[in-house]
Structure formats: structure tokens, C-alpha cells
A and B are shown apart, each in its own frame.
Chain A
Amino acid sequence: MSLAQVFREYPNRRYVEFGGKGGLGKTTFSAATAYWLAKQGYKVLVFSVDPQASLSDIFEQDIFGQGAVEIMPNLYAQEIDADRHIREYQDEIRHKILDMYGLDEVPEEIEHYIQAAAAEPAMEESAIFDAVVDIVVGGEYDYYIYDLVPLGHALYYLSMASIYDEWIDKITALREEMQEYDQVAAIMERKKETEEDLILMELQDIKQRINTSSGILTDREKTAFFFVVTPEEMIILDTLKAAKLFAKYQVPISGYIVNRVIPSELADQDIPDYLRYRIEMQRKYLGEIYDTFGDEVLTCVPEFERDITGLEMIGKVANALFGGE
């Protein structure tokens, strides 16, 4: 099956992700897929969850922290500015405290806590995670393409969802038990109604957001996850390991795409030995890739003669990816 066929056969898979080691071409394929889908008439958002995102570079346009920016008709790109997201979130908390208690300024102790929390190591990832939830539950686009961070981070991102989920479950249970005691007291004192527990409502809201986001990532019906590999021994070994880990988090893998393949026609020309050896090496590992992943290998994309930046080159990659369909 080709990549274009996968998209045609599973029209409900509206969340597209490319995973793989750093520097293999995830961003390039994300951009090219977005380009191809936009040309087919779908409204597409490609967004980056990487703090060192490179969508700005590939589209040759500064889009960092500017929300969804229209690159061409139907194609939108977004790079999340985690720091800004955290700052806005902190301000939101401060305002809520001031409004709730009619204060002029946030008590010093509380202010310290708000500032210290922002410096926590997991804060940036959490902020991005939260921003992604906002994006994907918005439902404005036909396709959402995640330009994922390298493997380790992607797994961290997924495991974070399950850690959050357990944490929320535990404290929600405690909160619910507390509400029972409230109700007992209220019945004894013959009050008609107990006050609604606002914290419990917040917790339920947080839980729902986390579940929506991680649910999408692991939903076979809605999500297409592609691994990017190159014909090199270490990459193949790493991908195998990663595929096992992803399977543990129930991420459905839709296929593998081989990148950076040196065109084999070159071998018939008068080329230096250096290049000839590389072509031979790649041929060997391509064989291994097909042996290992079999039918799941969807397509091979050649090494291009120059950098992939700008829409024209992205269009060329899209042609190679989708076979000019």
C-alpha cells in the first residue's frame, strides 16, 4: 500500500503524526503531507510541539508563537511558544485569585508559589501538552499534523498523559470522599443543598482534557502514526526498539517511510567509489528494512540535491511521498 492509499482508505484518520529519531525528516514530511492534503482541498493545520521547532525554517516564515498562520490556501502552520503559554497561564491564575477574593494584589506567599511552579522541570512540557489539547479539541481543521519531537520526548509526552491521569484519579477520589462528608453534615443540619465543589469540577475538567488528548494519540480509528527511517543500521535498530515502546502505549503504527535514499540510477553513472559504497550500503539496509517491516513500508523518498525549505521544495517532497498523485 502506498502512503496516498493509506490516506484514501482511512479518511477518518484525521490526526497524523510522524515519529523517528532527530534529523530524519519528520518536519519535512509533516510539511509535505500538509502541502499535499491542502492541495487536495482539505483544511490542514501542521503544528509543532517541539520547543526548538523548525516549521518556521521550512516554511521560510517566522510563525513562532503567532497562533495558526496561513502559509497557502488551506494550509496553516503553528509553533507553540511554551514560555508565553506559561506566562499567560500564570496571569490567568493571578487574576482568578484577585477576582475570587477581591484582592488588590496576590498574597506574597502565593505569588512565590506561582513563580516557583513555573520553574519546575516538567512545566514546559505540561504547558505544550495543554496547548495541544486546545488545538485538537478545537475541531476547526480537517487534518491535524503533529510535528513530533524526537522519540524519547514523544514517549515522555505520552507517558505524561498516563501519569496525569492516575494523579487526577487519586485526588478526584479524595475530593469525592470529602464531598460525602459535606453531604452528611448538610443532612444532619437539614440544609437543603450542599455547595458545589468547585475544585472537583476543575479536576473533572482537567481529566477530560487529558483523556481527550491522549485518547486521540492512541485511537486507531482517528490517528495515523508513521515512523521515519533511513537505510542505516543504527536507525533500524533504534526504530525497532521505539516501535516496541510505542506499542506499549497503544500507539497504532500505520506504516514506515524510508527517507534519504540515494537514487540507485546513479550507480550506472561514472561516480566516485565513495558514493558507490554508500549506495551499496544503503541497498543492504533497504533489504533489511523490507525484511523487518515488510508490507508496512509505504514508500521510499530520495535524498534531494539541496535543502528542503520553501514551498517549491516541499512540493517536490510531497510528489516523492505521494507518488505524484
Chain B
Amino acid sequence: MSGEEQQESALRRLGRSAKEFLYGMAGHDMTRFALKTRGSMEHLFILITMGDLLGIPILPPYYSLRLLPYVVPQISTWKRRMLRERDLTDALA
């Protein structure tokens, strides 16, 4: 590897580190927030399509069934979250 190439790859490494550093400072929290919001909405979505699983009657069951295969992996975490007892400390989370 020539000196010039070495210099360039070092520069690139530095650039990448800087980018990751900036992402960690500014972007990461936003990404986390976006994903968290999306997660909550996913659970809301399952509630309004699959509410029957918790005993909440939902209209219309026929087309809900078509969506069922896609939410199978989320069902258990969703149920846990929906049926979990809540207290004051939840507000702090």
C-alpha cells in the first residue's frame, strides 16, 4: 500500500468516526424515539385489528384474519404490554 493510499484510508476512517459521533450525539435519540413511537403504534394497530384476542370485540373479523399472519410474532409482547398493570412510575418512563 503506498503512502498516499494509507493517508486516504485514514482520512476515510476519520470521516466515518466523525459521522458516527455526530449520529450518536444528534441522531440516535431521534431514531430511538421514532422507533419507539412506531412500536407503540404497532401495538395500537394490533389492538384495533385483533382486539378479539383480549376480549374486545372488533369489526369485522373476516378481514382481520388476513392480517393475522403478519402480527403473529408480536402477539405475545403486545398482550403483555396491554394487560400489564400500570402505576405512577410508568409516567416517568
Judge whether A93 and B68 touch: CB under 8 Å: yes
Nearest CB in chain B: distance from A122 CB, A: 6
Interface SS of chain B:
helix
Q: Which of B27, B59, B75 contacts A110 (CB 8 A)?
A: B75
Judge whether B61 and A123 touch: CB under 8 Å: yes
Q: Which of B37, B42, B53, B62 contacts A122 (CB 8 A)?
A: B62
Judge whether A114 and B31 touch: CB under 8 Å: no
> Which residues of the other chain, A, contact B62 by a CB distance below 8 angstroms?
89, 117, 120, 122-123, 126-127, 129-130
Judge whether A122 and B45 touch: CB under 8 Å: no
Question: With A113-B53, A122-B61 given, is the CB distance from A178 to B72 under 8 Å?
Answer: no
Chain A 184-201: CB-based contact to B (< 8 A → 1; otherwise 0): 110011100000001100
Judge whether A185 and B72 touch: CB under 8 Å: no
Judge whether A96 and B69 touch: CB under 8 Å: yes
What size tier do the contact residues of chain A reach?
35 or more
Judge whether A97 and B61 touch: CB under 8 Å: no
Q: Is A100 an interface residue (CB 8 A)?
A: yes
CA distance A116 to B58 in the complex (A): 12
What size tier do the contact residues of chain B reach?
35 or more
Nearest CB in chain B: distance from A163 CB, A: 7
Judge whether B41 and A171 touch: CB under 8 Å: no
Q: Is A181 an interface residue (CB 8 A)?
A: yes
Q: Is B3 an interface residue (CB 8 A)?
A: no
Contacts between chains A and B (CB distance < 8 A), count = 109
Q: Is B23 an interface residue (CB 8 A)?
A: yes
Nearest CB in chain B: distance from A269 CB, A: 56
Q: Is B13 an interface residue (CB 8 A)?
A: no
Judge whether B60 and A126 touch: CB under 8 Å: yes
Chain A 115-158: CB-based contact to B (< 8 A → 1; otherwise 0): 01100101100110110000000000000000000000000000
> Which residues of the other chain, B, contact A129 by a CB distance below 8 angstroms?
62
Tell me the chain B residues, 46-93 only, with Cβ under 8 Å from chain A.
Answer: 48-50, 52-53, 59-73, 75-76
14 A-B interface contacts by CB (under 8 A): A97-B72, A110-B72, A113-B53, A120-B62, A122-B62, A164-B60, A174-B44, A174-B48, A178-B41, A184-B31, A188-B30, A188-B31, A189-B23, A206-B63
Interface residue ranges, B against A (CB under 8 Å): 23, 27-28, 30-31, 34-35, 37-38, 41-42, 44-45, 48-50, 52-53, 59-73, 75-76
Give 10 A-B pairs besides A93-B68, A185-B38 with Cβ atoms closer than 8 angstroms.
A100-B72, A113-B68, A116-B52, A120-B61, A164-B60, A171-B45, A181-B34, A184-B31, A188-B30, A190-B23
